Chain A
Amino acid sequence: MATIDETRDAARNLNGVGRRPAVELRDATVVYPGGNVGLDGASVAIERGEFAFLVGPTGCGKSTFIRLLLREIDPSRGSVLIAGRDIGALPRKRIPKLRRNIGVVFQDYKLLPNRTVYDNVAYSLQVIGESRSSIRSKVPQILRMVGLSTKLNDYPDELSGGEQQRVSLARAFVNQPPLLLADEPTGNLDPETSLGIMQLIYRINRAGTTVIVATHDSQMVDRMRRRVIEMSEGRVVRDERGGMYGRRHHT
C-alpha cells in the first residue's frame, strides 16, 4: 500500500507541492545492447513549470533522455529522478502508473489506427479507470481546445499530419499530467502547422505543466526564447535560459 501512496505523492509533487526539481538526471549513462552509447554521464535538472528545449544533432541522446523518463530503458549508471524520486527504484508493476502522470507526444504521432479521434483520446482516460460520464465531458472539451471538435469520428488515416499531432497532444494532456514530453513534435510538419502545435504546447505549459521538447527545429527554438539544453554525444554541452538553437547566434 505504501507504494501507491508514494506514487500519489510523486504526482502531487510534480504539480508543485514539493520543492524538488520536476525532472533530474544525475550522471545518467545509457549503453544500448550492442555498445552504442545513448547518454554519457548527463546531469541536468528541470524545475517545476519550466519549458525546456532539448537540442542537438541526431543521435546526441535527446530521444534516450525521453525514453529514460518514461522508463522504457534503465540507465546503466547514474539515476533519473522525477519529483525527487528515483524512478529506477519503481517496481515494474508501477511503471504504468508513472506513465499515466506523463503526457508524451512523438514525431510519428503514435495514434491507435483502429480508433476514432474521440476514442484515441478517451483511451488514456479508460486506462486510468475514469468513468464513462467523465470521459464524455472531458474528451470533447480537450478536442475543442486543440481545434478538432468537428473531427470526433474521423479515423487517424483520414487526418492531416498537423491534425494527427493535435489528437496526440489532446491524448497526452487530457488527464492533465504534471509533465509533458515531446520528442520532435514538429519533425514531420510544415512551419505554419508547427507553429500551431508549439503554441498549443506553450498553452499547456502556462497552465502549470512542466514541458520538455526535444527538437532540431532551430527557427522554433529561436522564436520561443526558452531554456535550451544542448546535447552532443550523450553529454549536456550547453544549458542556458532564454537561449537560441545554435551557440553562434547567442549574443
Chain B
Amino acid sequence: MRPLFFLREALRALRRNAAPSLAAFATILITALVLGVFIPVVKAATAKTNEVRNKIELEVYINDDASRAEVDELGNMIREIRHVESIEFIGKAEALRILRKRLGDKSGITEDLPGNPLPRSYRIKLDDPQNVDVVKSGLQPVGSDGKPRYISPAISDVKDREDQTEKILSATSTIKIILASLAGLLGLASILLVANTIRLSIFARRREVEVMRLVGATNWFIRWPFVIEGLLVGFAAGLVAVVLLWVVKVTVIDDWSDRFALIAGPDTVDFGVLVLVLLVAATAVSALGSGITLRRFLRV
C-alpha cells in the first residue's frame, strides 16, 4: 500500500470531479450543524428535567414529645431504608425560619404565634424519585395485624406532597420520552441522508470503478482513494460546522447565558467534547460510508 499515491488519487478526484463531493460536503455540514445545536439543547433540557425531579422528597414529621435519643435513632433507621440517598434534620427554629421565608411580606403574622408550633422533621432525598412509594412503605410497613404502622413511635406523620409528585413524575417522563425519540429520529435521518448522498456520489463514478477492475486493480487499490476522499470531505465539513457553531456560541449564546439560566446550566455539554464528537462522527461516517457503498460496485 502506498499512502501518498492514494492521497494523490483522492485529491485528483476532488479536483476533477468536485460536484458529487460538494453535495456530500454540504450534507455532512448541515447535518453536523443541526446535531451541534440539538445535542446541547437535549442535554440542557434533560438536566433541567432531572433538576425538577430531584425536588421530589419525603418529609417525616416528629412528635414534639419524642426525646433527642429517639430522634437520632429514627434518623439512623431512615438512612438504612433502601433508595434513601440522604436525609436532613430540620429543627423547630429552622422550620420557623423556612416558613417565614416562604411567607415573605406576610411573615409578620408569625410574630403573633404563641411559641413555636412547628414540628421537627427529617427531609429525605431519594436516589430516584420513582421509588417514592417504596420508601414510604419502608417508613410505614404493614404489621402482622395487616395494618400499616410507623417504624418508630417518634413519627407523627409522613408527607410527600402527593399531587405534586405525581404531576412532576408524569410530566418529566413525557419530556424524556419526547426528547429521546427526537434524538433518535434526528440521528437516523442524519445517517440516511449522508449515506444516500455518498451513494449518489459513488454511483456517478461507477463506470470509473468498472474500468479500474478491468485493468486488474485489486478491490483495495480502488477503494483506498475513495475512503481517503470521504475522510477529507467529512473532516472538512465537520471542521466548517464546528467553526460556525463556535462563532454562534461566542457571539450569541455566551451573551445570552448571562441572562438565561437554562443555557448556562452546569450540565450543558462541554464545547470541547461536542467539537470532538462532531468531527470524529463526520469523518468516520463519510469515510466508512464511501468504503462500504463501494462494495456494491466491486463485486465480480
Contacts and interface: CB of A to CB of B under 8 A. Distances in A.
Interface of A: 70, 72-73, 93, 96-101, 104, 110-115, 123-124, 126-128, 171
Nearest to B17: A114
B221 interface: yes
Interface in B212-228: 212-219, 221
Contacts of B208: 112-114
A122 to B, nearest CB: 11
B33 to A, nearest CB: 30
Contact of A171 (B13, B215, B221): B215
Contact of A124 (B215, B218, B300): B215
Contacts of A127: 212, 215-218, 221
A49 to B, nearest CB: 22
B271 interface: no
B300 A72 contact: yes
B218 A96 contact: yes
Contact of B216 (A93, A110, A112, A128): A128
Contacts of B215: 99-100, 104, 123-124, 127, 171
Interface in B190-221: 207-208, 210-219, 221
Nearest to A71: B300
Contacts, number: 50
Contacts of A112: 208, 211-212
Contacts of A72: 300
A100 B210 CA distance: 14
Contacts of B207: 110
B2 to A, nearest CB: 8
A96 B217 contact: yes
Contacts of B300: 72-73
Sort A-B residue pairs by CB-CB distance and give the 10 closest, nearest first: A100-B216, A99-B216, A114-B16, A124-B215, A127-B217, A96-B216, A96-B218, A110-B211, A127-B216, A114-B17
Given A114-B208, A127-B221, A70 B17 contact: no
Contacts of B16: 114
Given A99-B216, A110-B214, A113-B208, 16 more contacts: A93-B218, A96-B218, A98-B216, A104-B215, A110-B211, A111-B211, A112-B208, A114-B12, A114-B13, A114-B16, A114-B17, A114-B208, A123-B212, A127-B221, A128-B216, A171-B215
